[in-house]
A and B are shown apart, each in its own frame.
Chain A
Amino acid sequence: MSATRVRIRFSKHGKVRFTSHRDVARIWERALRRARVGVAYSAGFSPRPKIAFGLALSTGFSSDAEYLDVDLDPDRAAGIDTETLVAALTASLPAGMTAMAAAWLAPGEPSLQHAVTSCTWRIDAAGADALEASDSLERALARGELLVQRERKGRLDTDDIRPAVLAAEVQGNITDGVRLIAELGTKPRAVRPPELLASLDPPLGLLRAHRLHQWIATDGLQRREPLAVAELSVAGAGLAP
C-alpha cells in the first residue's frame, strides 16, 4: 500500500504568531479544505480530520520549524505531488504562515509528539548586554542543576532544567537587548525559552522567541530534523549536536 500520511513543515511569523496552538489547528483544518486537499476523517459519531500536530508553540513565539502530519483520504491521495501541495497550502494559509516542505511518511513512522527530542531557539532577551549575558550563562551552565519554579495544577513545583539545556550561547547584542541561541530538550517535558532566562542569575526578560529547528535524536550523537529544509540549515550552525 502506498503512503497516505504526509508531513508538512511550516513557518509562523509576524502578526499571526499571536494565534494559539488551538487556533493554528483550526487554521490548518480550514486551509486544507480551502486547498481542496482530501483529508481522511476518523470514523464514529463525530468524525474529525486526521491531523496530528507536534510540540505546541507558545502564543507570541515565531518559528521556522512547525510540523503537522496529515492523513489523506486514500481515494484522493494518489497522484498528489508534494511540491504542488506545498504551493497550494501556502496560498490557502493566512499571511505569516508558509508551508515550507512536505514529504510522504513511511508507515509506522513515530508521531511528532513522540519523536522530537529537542528544539533550537533564537531568544531575544532584555536586562543585560552580550558580555554580561555570556557571563551569567557560563556560570549557569557550569552548575550541576538549574532550578526553575513553575505552577502546575495550582501548586508550585521546582524543576531542574539543567539536563535539558543541551547547548546555549550568546550570539551578540541587538538593538533592544541580547540574542541567545539555545538547544532545549523536550523530554520528559519541553523546556521553554523563558525558563532558561529565568534560571540565570540575574534573570533576563524575554523579548522574543523564535523556533529555528526541531530535532529527532537518532542515537546519542546523531540527530535529524523531522523534515529538513536546505536553505535554513545554516541558522542553527555552530551548535553541537
Chain B
Amino acid sequence: MTSLWHLLEPLLPQVSKPARYIGGEHGMQTPEHGPGIVSWLLTYPDTYEIGLPNQGLQILYEILNERPDAAAERAYAPWVDLEAQMRAEGLPLFSLDTHRPAALFDVIAFNLSAELTYTNVLNCIDLAGVPVHSESRHDADPLIGAGGHCTYNPEPLADFVDFVVLGDGEEAVGDITDVLHDWKTSGRPGGRRGILRALARVPGVYVPSQYRPVYDRGNLAAVEPLHPDVPAVVEKRTVADLAAWPYPKSQLVPLTEVVHDRLNVEVFRGCTRGCRFCQAGMITRPVRERPAEQVRTMVSEGLRRTGYDEVALTSLSTADFSGIEQVVASTVDESGCGQVSVSLPSLRVDAFTVGIAAQIQRARRTGLTFAPEAGTWRMRQVINKLITADDLYSAVESAYSQGWRRMKLYFLTGLPTETDDDTLGIAELARNCVALGRSHVRSPSVTVSVGGFVPKPFTPFQWFGQNTTAELRRKIGLLRGDLRRSRGVQLKWHDPAASMAEGLASRGDRRLGPVIEHVWRHGGTFQEWSEHFDERRWRTAADACDIDIDASVYRHRTIEEVLPWDHLSAGLHKDFLWQDWRDALDEVGLEDCRWTPCYDCGACTGYGIEHVVASAVPPAGGSQGTGMDTSRGGAVPVRLTERGLVGAAP
C-alpha cells in the first residue's frame, strides 16, 4: 500500500481549497514503479495554483513518462493549514498523481523559478522525511535535484541539494535517468557517493558536494572540483532545435483554479533583445523558434485534447516571432466559432503589437500590460530597453482607440545610475498615457506597477550594488508624492524588504545556506507571499549566521572579484558581460543580434549552435528596440556599440 490517500482524505475537509491536493487532472499519468524504473518526483516549491501551470515541469513530466525506464509524478508545497495537519498526523509529502510518499522516489527534483521559494524547498525536503542537509542523507534517501533559472547560482542551496541542472532540461533528464538506471540495476556501485560522482560527469549537471569553496580573508577565492574527473566549469544544456521537442503534448488541465489557466504553446525560447536587467534573456540564448506549422498543430491539437478555450503563445517576447501575424490569424480562424481567445502574455511596446492584440482579443477587451521598465530614455539606454516614449504613446493611443480602457505599466526602480529625474519620469509617462486616453474613453486608467531591481547572475548588472531598502522606499515615496494628485493613475509597488531577501539569495555564496535554513527553521515559509514575509526574520538570520547584508546585497562588485557562479557557465563570456556593463554606464545601447551581425556573447559560438529564426528581418512596427523610428525612417537616436570592442580591456 503506497498511497497515502486514506490518511490525507480525513484532513481535507478541514483545509482551504482541498482540490489542490487531489490530483486527477486531465492529462495526469499514473505510472508504474518498480526496481528497474527510475522514479522522479517533480516538485514545485510553492502552492499548486502557482506551480501546476509551470511548463518546464509539465514538459519533463511527459518526457520522463514516455520512457520505459522512468516514472514521473508531481508534488507541490502544501499550504500552511495542511502542513500543520500533516505534521500533527505524521503524514509526509506526497505525490498528487498516486499519493505516493515522496521519500519512495529515487529523485525529488525541484523547479527553482524564484529565490524566495528556497525556504519552501527545505520545508518540502523535511516534509518528505529526508534530511535537509545533503551530507546527512543515507543511501536509501532520494536524491534531491533542482532545475530552473535560479540554478545559475545554486550556491546558497549547495548544502541542501545533491545535484542541479543548468539550462534546458529536455535532454538532461534523459541522461540523468540513464545514469541512475545503470546504477540502480547494477547493485548501486559506490552507494550514494558513487552516484553523485557519476552524476557530476553528466554535461549540464552540477553536484555541489563534488566541489569545495576556497576563501581568502573572508572573500570567495574559488569553487574547486574535488576530483580530476569532475569538470572545473559546468556548462549549461541547450536544446538546439525546439521542433524536436513538441511538449507538453497533453497539457494538464486542472480541476480547480490556477494561474495562467489556459493552453500554453511555447513559440520560441531565448531572447536577444539584450535587456541588461533580464536574467531570462541572457541565460536562455540563442533564440530558437518553433516552426510556425508546428505551432499551429500544437494549438489545434492542444485545444482539442484539453478543452481549453484560451491559448497563450508564450515566449519572452512573442511579438518578435517570425510571421506572428499569420500564426495568430490562422489560430483564430482554425479554432472556429470565435469562441477561442488567444493571448500574448509578453506584449512589445508598440502600436503594431497592439494591432495584433486587437485582432485576437475580440472578447474581454479590458486591460493591456506594457513593460517600459524605466521612466526616461536615458535610463532605458542604460538598461538597453530601447523603446522610445513615442513607441509607448503610440501603443497606448492605439489601445485606447480600439476599446481597451485600462493599461498596466511595469517599471523597475533602483536601476544602475538612476536619478530622481529618472524615477519621476515614470510618473510623467503614466500621466501622459492617461492624457492620451482622455480623447478616446471617459475615464482612462493607468496602473503603474513598480518593482525594486534585484541584480541577477549572468547579466551585465551582476556587478551592481542593489539599492538599499531605504533607498527603494524613498523612490517609491517620491512617486507616491508626485502621483498623489494625478487622476487616473494608480501606483502599486513590491515590498522593498522582499527585494532585499531576494538579492541576498540571488548573489550569495555557500555561506548563505545557514541563513536560508535559519529563516526556514523560524517559520519563514512561503516567502513569496506578502502575508508570510517578514523582513526581521531575514535580518535576524543574517545576524545569527554572521552575514553582512550591506556587503552581500548593496555592494558593487569589481572585475577582479570571484563571483559565486564563476565555476558555472551559461555560455556568456564574462568579458562580454563586463563590456556590456561598461556600455550601460556609458548609456550605450546594443542591438538585437538576431537580425544584426554576431557580437560573440558566447551563447552560440561556445556551443556550436545558432539562432533558429524563420525571418532574417525584424517584424514591422515601432522602433524595434533600436530607438529608431522605423515607421518614418528617422535617424537613430542611440549610439550602438562598435562590435570590435568586445573582449577589449574595460
Contacts and interface: CB of A to CB of B under 8 A. Distances in A.
B363 A18 contact: no
Nearest to B18: A18
Contacts of A46: 363-364
Contacts of B307: 29-34, 92
Contacts of B21: 18
A47 B306 CA distance: 20
A34 B307 CA distance: 5
B225 interface: no
B306 A19 contact: no
B18 A60 contact: yes
Contacts of A23: 19, 255-257
Interface residues of A, number: 25
Given A16-B22, A34-B305, A46-B363, A60 B12 contact: yes
Contact of A59 (B18, B309, B363): B18
Contacts of A34: 26, 304-307
Nearest to B255: A19
Contact of A27 (B13, B255, B339, B363): B255
B299 to A, nearest CB: 14
Interface in B13-40: 13, 18-19, 21-26
B363 A45 contact: yes
B339 A41 contact: yes
Nearest to A17: B22
B22 A47 contact: no
A76 B255 CA distance: 27
A40 to B, nearest CB: 11
A123 B364 CA distance: 43
Contacts of B363: 45-47
A19 B363 CA distance: 28
A74 to B, nearest CB: 13
A94 B26 contact: yes
A94 B257 contact: no
A119 B284 CA distance: 57
Interface of A is mostly: helix
Nearest to A73: B337
A29 B255 CA distance: 11
A33 B255 contact: no
Interface in B325-368: 337-339, 363-365
Interface string A13-43: 0011011101100110111111000000100
B308 A30 contact: yes
B12 A96 contact: no
Interface in B229-271: 253, 255-257
A33 B338 CA distance: 14
B599 interface: no
Contacts of A92: 307
A173 to B, nearest CB: 19
Nearest to B366: A46
B182 to A, nearest CB: 36
A106 interface: no
Interface residues of B, number: 27
A18 B22 contact: yes
A52 interface: no
Given A18-B19, A30-B306, A47-B363, A95 B257 contact: no
Contacts of A60: 12-13, 18
A6 B52 CA distance: 33
Interface string B287-326: 0000000000000000011111100000000000000000
Contacts, number: 64
Contacts of B305: 34
Contacts of B337: 41
B24 A94 contact: yes
Contact of A19 (B26, B256, B338, B365): B256
Interface string A86-97: 000000101110
Contacts of A41: 337, 339
Given A32-B307, A60-B12, A60-B18, A16 B255 contact: yes
B79 interface: no
Given A41-B339, A47-B339, A60-B12, A19 B19 contact: yes
B361 to A, nearest CB: 11
B342 to A, nearest CB: 15
A30 B26 contact: yes
Contacts of B306: 30, 34
A19 B309 CA distance: 21
Interface string A200-230: 0000000000000000000000000000000
Contacts of B338: 47
A19 B12 CA distance: 11
A27 B256 CA distance: 8
Contacts of B183: none
B254 to A, nearest CB: 9
B5 interface: yes
A60 B24 CA distance: 15
B585 to A, nearest CB: 49
Contact of A20 (B23, B25, B256, B304): B256
Contact of A22 (B12, B18, B257, B364): B257
Nearest to B403: A45
B365 to A, nearest CB: 8
Nearest to A27: B255
Nearest to B17: A20
Interface in B586-611: none
Contacts of A33: 307-309
Contacts of B257: 22-23, 26
A95 B24 contact: yes
Candidate in A31, A95, A96 with the most chain B CB atoms within 10 angstroms: A95
A44 to B, nearest CB: 9
B120 to A, nearest CB: 23
Contacts of A32: 307
Contacts of A47: 338-339, 363
A29 B26 CA distance: 13
A96 B24 contact: yes
Contacts of B256: 19-20, 23
A39 B50 CA distance: 30
B310 to A, nearest CB: 11
Contact of B253 (A19, A30, A96): A30
A222 B26 CA distance: 41
28 contacts: A15-B5, A16-B22, A18-B18, A18-B22, A23-B255, A26-B257, A27-B255, A29-B307, A29-B309, A30-B253, A30-B306, A30-B307, A32-B307, A33-B309, A34-B26, A34-B304, A34-B307, A41-B337, A45-B364, A46-B364, A47-B363, A60-B12, A60-B13, A60-B18, A92-B307, A94-B25, A94-B255, A96-B24
Interface of A: 15-16, 18-20, 22-23, 26-27, 29-34, 41, 45-47, 59-60, 92, 94-96
Given A22-B257, A30-B308, 20 more contacts: A15-B22, A15-B24, A18-B21, A19-B19, A20-B19, A20-B256, A23-B19, A31-B307, A33-B309, A34-B26, A34-B304, A41-B337, A45-B363, A47-B363, A60-B13, A60-B18, A94-B24, A94-B25, A94-B26, A95-B24
4 closest A-B pairs by beta carbon, nearest first, are A30-B307, A33-B307, A34-B307, A18-B18
